[in-house]
Structure 1
Amino acid sequence: MLPEFKFIYLTSSIEEILGYDLEIHYTNANLPFEIIHPDDLHIQKSKIDKNSDFSKAFCARFKHKDGHYVWIEDFLVPTYNENGDLVSVSGFSRDITERKKLEKMLEEQNKLLEMDVTAEIKANKIMENTLKKQEELLVNISHELKTPLNVISATAQLLEMYYMDDSIINKKDIFIKYFKSIKLNTYRLSKLINNIVDSSKIEAGFFQLNLLNVNIVNVVEEIVMSVTSFVKIKGLNIIFDTDTEEKIIACDPEKIERIMLNLISNATKFSNDNGEIFVNVKDMNEWIEISVEDNGIGIEEKKMDIIFDRFEQADKSLSRNAEGTGIGLSLVKSIALLHGGSINVESEYGKGSKFTVTLPAGAVAKENMIYDRNIKNKDERIRIEFSDVYF
């Protein structure tokens, strides 16, 4: 092969590899670039570059007579003139197509192995984070369970002592106070158990909605009116507003009540004295927006992404200002999603937060008549949801 890409002599082995009668077609002719893979033209050209490293093999793809490409490995020896110019190269070639296929297969297997290793590392990381969360959950729930249980146990022992020395008759006021304490802490236990059970039902897919076509404005307003006295005990003012008097949508009123009580109780817990809570219903035609806004302590920006995660809290310390397991907002999000809606939060640390639930405004053709809102006492449901507010 000359520097001008002309063949001087070709062995029969090349013809066997490519299927061409190259000695007839290409001897003393320009090298047919059309038979070289476009990506390998630079390799072919390097064969007549005097600066090339001829101690290494040249590997390039050539088109076979049948149309497919064949990998050929050339081992070449250069010949130079007295001026140091490259005048010719000679050597031998061999078909390494099968080797290249094996190399490619090995490369793909290595990539798959790397992917498997990466996936395993990620899985281990997820498992590690899950175990860490489970550990935090156990510590948190243990604290949440022990606190009301300790109060109930201590109160029961004290009342028993009064009973044994017949002094309980003279301590009626103290008896009433401790009785309220026991009841409040049983509510706290009920809330914790209800949240854990419902959270597990949602995760298992057994949490169902009982849909009715109701005026969502009335549902939300009734809830606000029902909690007004509880909010005022904390020195707060709650304000309800709406831009429409009637909006019929398909929803589960009890579950909507659960959402509202959770959001309002959170706003109550994390508001300062003399603060205000604003509950607003906004008609968005195809959607309805229900927002609960407070001017309390707010949420740090770095913790905004985790507050809707199960068992996550903006403040994980056991000495935080208000109690809770971190399940409530996760339930609120899940209930909103089950309705085909969503929830988002806006907050500025130190200035307050605004939670907005968006629900579709469609109705159902057939209501679930099994639903009965009078099954549970509404006042008791409110007391359970507000049990960790310390009213």
Structure 2
Amino acid sequence: MFTKNQQFYDLIINRSSDAIAVISEGKYIFVNNKALEIFGTNNSSELIGNEFFDFINNENKEMVTQYVDQIYSESTTFISYECKIKGLNEKEVPVEIISSYILYNGNPSYISLIKNISSQKQINELENHVKENEKVISDTIEFNRQMMEFFANISHELKTPLNVILGAIQLLELPNNKGLSKSFDLTLNKYIGTMKQNCYRLLRIINNLIDVSKFDTGYFKLNLSNYNIVSVIEDITLSVADYIETSGVKLIFDTDTEEKIIAIDADKVERIILNLLSNAVKFTDAGDSILVRIEDKNESIIISVKDTGVGIPKDKLDIIFERFGQVDKTLSRNNEGSGIGLCLVKSLVGMHDGTIKVKSKIGEGSEFIIELPIRIVEETEVVESCLDQSNVEKINIEFSDIYS
């Protein structure tokens, strides 16, 4: 009876599709035919009596040691893990090993089921490659779609002021006897102003495109100096008060501190604030207000621009800082803009090691919140103001798509 059971046992073990091995005192004492195949031999004597860890990949030895210790300490537990074994033919094979504690001839041992998972690993790698390629394709398609939208909008943005300028020139070319003779000077000034404003619009678009290229190529640099950031923001805000209030929008400046010295690139900060104020007034109706506020957080300074305008839809909040992100992408939209202004703002804030976020609700308005870390550069003098004669020109450019 025992002989029949032994024969039955040997038949099952040796015909198993999985490798089976018994390890006692750290050495192989039994391996079946499938195990010989995995280890690259057909002679069991090449395995029997050899150290178990001699066939474990060096990178996996520490991990496998922990699992073996666990097998002996938790004698009724099945342990499963993956590792690489080194075959007698020097090939490394990825395997899954399921082990359990046993007594063999009265000695603490463990039996292991060893499964070659090379094919599964290859399938997983192929699946990962497919997913990665699908993502690359998807991202490329989305980028191309955004580019097409962007260039369609840019074409519209460039054509609009050019058409206005061309129309003004054509009117000025009309003979004086067709209605321009009586108030020619007034009409001339009006159309010159229109042409100038639309030239500023073109300049703004071109400046933004140039700056985007500078960011992409790493040529955009900061010129840091120590400024009283409160004075800088207040001066910028007051410099555009007349522009904004001609639209019937009230502009308010508030601060909880009078002085905070911080290293900034004043021109870039001016660009940031002018851009945010320009956006705010575009989407704020007459009779509403815009609040510029500074808050001292000791280790950082908070600058916020809050309007009571139309607000931004919740599903658009994540895209407004993207390069081509626009809340309204139709060519018939009410407000001009190429969709790269806020992308530049975020980049400029990031260059100062700062952050920018937006809070908004439809019908209640939006609040852009900038946080800049307090840092000082080595220099002897603190600059109180960053405004100069060119400031008027900068304001005209940044606000060029508002006034007509």
Asked if residue 67 in structure 1 is aligned to residue 27 in structure 2, the reply is yes
Kept in 2: contact 1:159–1:175 (CA 8 A): yes
Q: Which residue of 1 aligns with 2:249?
A: 236
Kept in 1: contact 2:20–2:35 (CA 8 A): no
Report the Cα distance in structure 1 between the residues aligned to 2:212 and 2:260, rounded to whole angstroms. 29
Report the Cα distance in structure 2 between the residues aligned to 1:283 and 1:156, rounded to whole angstroms. 51
Listed one character per residue, the Cα deviations across residues 23-56 of structure 1 (whole Å, up to 9, x for unaligned) are: xxxxxxxxxxxxxxxxxxxx97xx9xxxxxxxx9
**Secondary structure class of the residue paired with 2:305:** strand
State the one-letter code of the partner of 2:342. Answer: L
1:221, distance to aligned residue in structure 2 (A): 0.3
- What is the TM-score with the length of structure 1 in the denominator? 0.76
Kept in 2: contact 1:239–1:278 (CA 8 A): yes
**Secondary structure class of the residue paired with 1:291:** strand
**Secondary structure class of the residue paired with 2:290:** strand
Q: Which residue of 2 aligns with 1:96?
A: 37
Kept in 1: contact 2:236–2:387 (CA 8 A): no
Q: Which residue of 1 aligns with 2:332?
A: 319
Report the Cα distance in structure 2 between the residues aligned to 1:181 and 1:69, rounded to whole angstroms. 95
1:107, distance to aligned residue in structure 2 (A): 2.4
Q: Which residue of 2 aligns with 1:333?
A: 346
State the one-letter code of the partner of 2:18. Answer: C
Q: Which residue of 2 aligns with 1:38?
A: none
1:154-193 to structure 2, matched below 5 A, reads 154-162=167-175, 170-193=183-206
Report the Cα distance in structure 2 between the residues aligned to 1:119 and 1:246, rounded to whole angstroms. 51
Report the Cα distance in structure 1 between the residues aligned to 2:180 and 2:29, rounded to whole angstroms. 103
Asked if residue 387 in structure 1 is aligned to residue 400 in structure 2, the reply is yes
Q: 1:300 to 1:195 in 2, by over 3 A?
A: same
Identical aligned residues as a percent: 41
| Among 232, 239, 248, the residue aligned to 1:219 | 232
Say what the alpha-carbon RMSD is for the aligned residues: 3.2
1:162, distance to aligned residue in structure 2 (A): 3.8
Listed one character per residue, the Cα deviations across residues 339-382 of structure 1 (whole Å, up to 9, x for unaligned) are: 0101000001111000011111111114899xx96776111100
1:285, distance to aligned residue in structure 2 (A): 0.3
Report the Cα distance in structure 1 between the residues aligned to 2:131 and 2:30, rounded to whole angstroms. 34
1:94, distance to aligned residue in structure 2 (A): 7.7
1:28-39 to structure 2, matched below 5 A, reads none
Report the Cα distance in structure 1 between the residues aligned to 2:29 and 2:322, rounded to whole angstroms. 55
Kept in 2: contact 1:277–1:294 (CA 8 A): yes
Q: Which residue of 1 aligns with 2:106?
A: none
1:114-133 to structure 2, matched below 5 A, reads 114-133=127-146
Q: Which residue of 1 aligns with 2:69?
A: none
Q: Which residue of 2 aligns with 1:301?
A: 314
Kept in 1: contact 2:150–2:339 (CA 8 A): no
1:40-55 to structure 2, matched below 5 A, reads none
State the one-letter code of the partner of 2:117. Answer: K
**Secondary structure class of the residue paired with 2:327:** coil
**Secondary structure class of the residue paired with 1:161:** coil
Moved more, 166-175 or 153-162: 166-175
Asked if residue 152 in structure 1 is aligned to residue 93 in structure 2, the reply is no
Q: 1:345 to 1:94 in 2, by over 3 A?
A: closer
Report the Cα distance in structure 1 between the residues aligned to 2:360 and 2:232, rounded to whole angstroms. 26
Q: Which residue of 2 aligns with 1:7?
A: 6
Listed one character per residue, the Cα deviations across residues 108-161 of structure 1 (whole Å, up to 9, x for unaligned) are: 222222211111111111110111111111101000000001111111122122
Asked if residue 206 in structure 1 is aligned to residue 227 in structure 2, the reply is no
1:315, distance to aligned residue in structure 2 (A): 1.0
Asked if residue 134 in structure 1 is aligned to residue 147 in structure 2, the reply is yes
1:104, distance to aligned residue in structure 2 (A): 2.6
Q: How many residues align?
A: 329
